[in-house]
């Protein structure tokens, strides 16, 4: 039975495996999917997760629950040698192993692309994973709680300032969602006022959201300004050392903003793991494929190798796209994966493949509760209706009804009950509370020479019985709480 190895279980990998399960006949091929994460992340929901409108666990789709016929391997693919059809799989614990395959599908996606700006690597956080989105939510909440105890001043300002770098879709969505979240949060913090909160978005270009028309992007800018959120166009982040952001405008003027939360959304790049493969890469580091999604080296098709999603340069046959290639988005990744699965099965059966072609459906963005934009060609919708379209589209696009219901449940719950505003920031150090009171073994007594008499048993220990090997918490606490005499306490 031929083995199909799917590298990556995000949008493209998950859908490829899901559709292969559907199209393959019993015993026709074995599907193995490898991803270091046990779930697929529905990335368009990350801004709403960061803003507390969707529970983090509800925005991911468990591989094992939904891929019943696929062998799911939770590990990284660290090398692919297609010449010998072997992939090196490296688990988090244990030895790496070589997995042979007959067909390979590369879908390892993209990672945040940064520039060597001082401080960014140390201070900023990306928005590509569910963990990042959940951490942003908790950070906003924790910072609010801290700020509410402080008098007005730079320390409090820093905690109540959000800086987002990048005015693309992801950047604007998270910026606007957080603005909505923070405005909501003020109702629970009488110590703080709207004017105490500060929002800055930095965009190097002269406009935001290239996916929508200029007119629609202007509407978004105006809407954000009305909501007290500053967008700095033609401006670059020059430094973020220690959270001190230097925003350098085109005219070289510099504005300094200090922030405890710097979110980097200024672009993505193909997953650098592809450098550990022998597949052809184009200048932007993506695997080159032909329109039927088979890997191609100039004009030579690489047999039994496929790629799609953000990691692949897929020709856009509609004539759109950037440089003639499909733009990296979920709309393409899902549809490419579905076509790829069909083509792969067709190839196994000796049938012809079909080229991938998809007319852009448009773009829809949520900008906080009750506000959104939608653009398809020249048609645009703004405000409440567009927000409804955003939720309607993504609610339905979430894979499986099991997940759809959870997300819709969050929205309905949020509508009637409001957002949940408790920070679980302490989950970063989940053992701290336990460890603070946990008793530890007494330090081992240094071995006494045989001639020295054994120490007298402690008070309360039956004669001849060995003393306790470790202090009980009660013993520790009582000694700490009420030392009998000063000397004993000092000795301890």
- At residue 32, the 3 state secondary structure works out as strand
Compute the least distance from the CB of residue 462 to ligand FAD, in Å: 59
Compute the least distance from the CB of residue 261 to ligand FAD, in Å: 16
271 counts as binding ligand FAD under rule CB under 6 A: yes
In the chain, % helix, strand, coil (3-state, to 5) comes to 35, 25, 40
Token digits of residue 238: 């020059």
Return the range that interacts with ligand FAD (CB under 6 A); candidates 11-19, 414-422, 435-443, 445-453. 11-19
Compute the least distance from the CB of residue 55 to ligand FAD, in Å: 17
HSE, CB side, 13 Å, CA atoms: give it for residue 303: 6
Nearer to ligand FAD, 290 or 329 (CB): 329
Contact indicator for 305, 294 with CB cutoff of 8 Å: yes
Long-range contacts from 130-136, C-beta under 8 angstroms, 24+ separation: 130/39, 130/41, 130/46, 130/49, 130/56, 130/59, 130/60, 131/56, 132/46, 133/46, 133/47, 133/49, 133/50, 133/56, 133/59, 134/49, 134/50, 134/56, 135/428, 136/50, 136/174, 136/178, 136/261, 136/263
Identify the residue among 138, 157, 310, 316 touching ligand FAD (CB under 6 A).
Answer: 310
Identify the residue among 4, 5, 8, 201 touching ligand FAD (CB under 6 A).
Answer: 8
11 counts as binding ligand FAD under rule CB under 6 A: yes
Q: How far is CA 129 from the centre of its chain?
A: 1
Nearer to ligand FAD, 9 or 160 (CB): 9
Identify the residue among 52, 109, 167, 243 touching ligand FAD (CB under 6 A).
Answer: 109
Q: Give the position of tokens 């209706």.
A: 385
Q: Specify the DSSP element, H or E, that contains 452.
A: none
Long-range contacts from 409-418, C-beta under 8 angstroms, 24+ separation: 409/58, 410/53, 410/54, 410/55, 410/58, 411/53, 411/54, 414/53, 418/184
43 counts as binding ligand FAD under rule CB under 6 A: yes
Supply φ then ψ for residue 331, to 5 degrees: -55, -45
Nearer to ligand FAD, 131 or 215 (CB): 131
325 counts as binding ligand FAD under rule CB under 6 A: no
Identify the residue among 148, 329, 347, 376 touching ligand FAD (CB under 6 A).
Answer: 329
Size of the site for ligand FAD (CB under 6 A): 35
Compute the least distance from the CB of residue 238 to ligand FAD, in Å: 24
Return the range that interacts with ligand FAD (CB under 6 A); candidates 5-13, 190-198, 278-286, 463-471. 5-13
217 counts as binding ligand FAD under rule CB under 6 A: no
Compute the least distance from the CB of residue 95 to ligand FAD, in Å: 17
Token digits of residue 347: 């190839």
Compute the least distance from the CB of residue 33 to ligand FAD, in Å: 9
| Residue number of the CB atom closest to ligand FAD | 10
Nearer to ligand FAD, 112 or 143 (CB): 112
**Helix runs in 300-360, H state only:** 330-348
Token digits of residue 349: 């059966």
Would strands 86-90 and 97-100 be described as parallel, antiparallel, or unpaired?
A: antiparallel
Identify the residue among 4, 34, 341, 381 touching ligand FAD (CB under 6 A).
Answer: 34
331 counts as binding ligand FAD under rule CB under 6 A: yes
Supply φ then ψ for residue 240, to 5 degrees: -135, 25
Return the range that interacts with ligand FAD (CB under 6 A); candidates 18-26, 149-157, 322-330, 468-476. 322-330
41 beta partners = 60
Compute the least distance from the CB of residue 226 to ligand FAD, in Å: 23
C-alpha span between 433 and 468 (Å, rounded):
25
Identify the residue among 5, 35, 61, 147 touching ligand FAD (CB under 6 A).
Answer: 35
Supply φ then ψ for residue 380, to 5 degrees: -135, 145
C-alpha span between 46 and 56 (Å, rounded):
8
Identify the residue among 5, 20, 24, 46 touching ligand FAD (CB under 6 A).
Answer: 46
330 counts as binding ligand FAD under rule CB under 6 A: yes
| Contact track, ligand FAD, 147-176, x by CB under 6 A | ----------------------xx------
128 counts as binding ligand FAD under rule CB under 6 A: yes
Q: How open is the CA angle 467-473-478, to the nearest 5 degrees? A: 90
Nearer to ligand FAD, 177 or 196 (CB): 177
107 counts as binding ligand FAD under rule CB under 6 A: yes
Nearer to ligand FAD, 79 or 146 (CB): 79
Token digits of residue 73: 């391997």
246 beta partners = 239, 256
Enumerate binding residues for ligand FAD (CB under 6 A). Answer: 7-13, 34-37, 43-44, 46-47, 76-77, 107-110, 127-128, 169-170, 271, 273, 309-311, 328-331, 333
């Amino acid at each position: 039975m031929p083995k199909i190895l799917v590298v990556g279980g995000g949008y493209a990998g998950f859908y490829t495996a899901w559709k292969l399960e559907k199209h393959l006949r019993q015993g026709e091929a074995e599907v193995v999917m490898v991803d270091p994460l046990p779930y697929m992340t529905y990335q368009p929901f990350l801004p709403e997760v960061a803003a507390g409108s969707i529970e983090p666990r509800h925005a991911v789709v468990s591989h094992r629950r939904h891929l019943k016929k696929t062998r799911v391997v939770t590990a990284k693919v660290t090398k692919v040698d297609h010449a010998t059809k072997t992939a090196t799989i490296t688990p988090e614990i244990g030895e790496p192993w070589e997995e042979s395959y007959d067909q390979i599908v590369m879908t390892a996606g993209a990672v945040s692309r940064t520039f060597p700006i001082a401080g960014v690597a140390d201070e900023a956080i990306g928005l590509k994973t569910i963990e990042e989105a959940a951490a942003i939510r908790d950070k906003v909440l924790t910072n609010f709680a801290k700020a509410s105890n402080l008098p007005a001043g730079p320390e409090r300002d820093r905690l109540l300032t959000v800086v987002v770098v990048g005015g693309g879709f992801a950047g604007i969505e998270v910026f606007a969602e957080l603005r909505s979240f923070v405005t909501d949060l003020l109702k629970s913090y009488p110590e703080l006022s709207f004017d105490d909160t500060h929002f800055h978005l930095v965009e190097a270009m002269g406009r935001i959201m290239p996916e929508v028309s200029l007119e629609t992007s202007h509407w978004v800018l105006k809407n954000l300004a009305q909501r007290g959120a500053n967008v700095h166009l033609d401006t670059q982040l020059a430094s973020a050392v220690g959270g001190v952001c230097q925003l350098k405008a085109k005219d070289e003027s510099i504005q300094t903003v200090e922030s405890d939360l710097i979110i980097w959304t200024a672009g993505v790049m193909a997953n650098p793991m592809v450098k550990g493969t022998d597949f052809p890469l184009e200048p932007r580091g993506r695997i080159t494929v032909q329109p039927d999604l088979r890997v191609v080296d100039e004009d030579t098709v690489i047999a039994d190798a496929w790629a799609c999603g953000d990691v692949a340069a897929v020709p856009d046959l509609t004539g759109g796209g950037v440089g003639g290639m499909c733009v990296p988005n979920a709309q393409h990744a899902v549809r490419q994966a579905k076509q790829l699965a069909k083509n792969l099965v067709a190839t196994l059966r000796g049938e012809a493949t079909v080229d991938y072609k998809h007319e852009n459906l448009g773009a829809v963005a949520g900008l906080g509760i009750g506000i959104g934009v939608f653009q398809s060609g020249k048609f645009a919708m703004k405000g409440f209706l567009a927000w409804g379209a955003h939720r309607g589209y993504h609610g339905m696009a979430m894979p499986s009804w099991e997940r759809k219901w959870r997300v819709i449940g969050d929205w309905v719950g949020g509508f009637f009950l409001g957002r949940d505003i408790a920070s679980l920031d302490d989950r970063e150090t989940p053992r701290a509370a336990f460890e603070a009171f946990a008793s530890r073994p007494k330090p081992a007594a240094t071995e006494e020479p045989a001639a020295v008499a054994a120490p007298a048993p402690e008070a309360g220990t039956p004669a001849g019985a060995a003393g306790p090997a470790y202090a009980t918490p009660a013993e520790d606490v009582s000694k700490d709480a009420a030392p009998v005499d000063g000397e004993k306490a000092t000795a301890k």
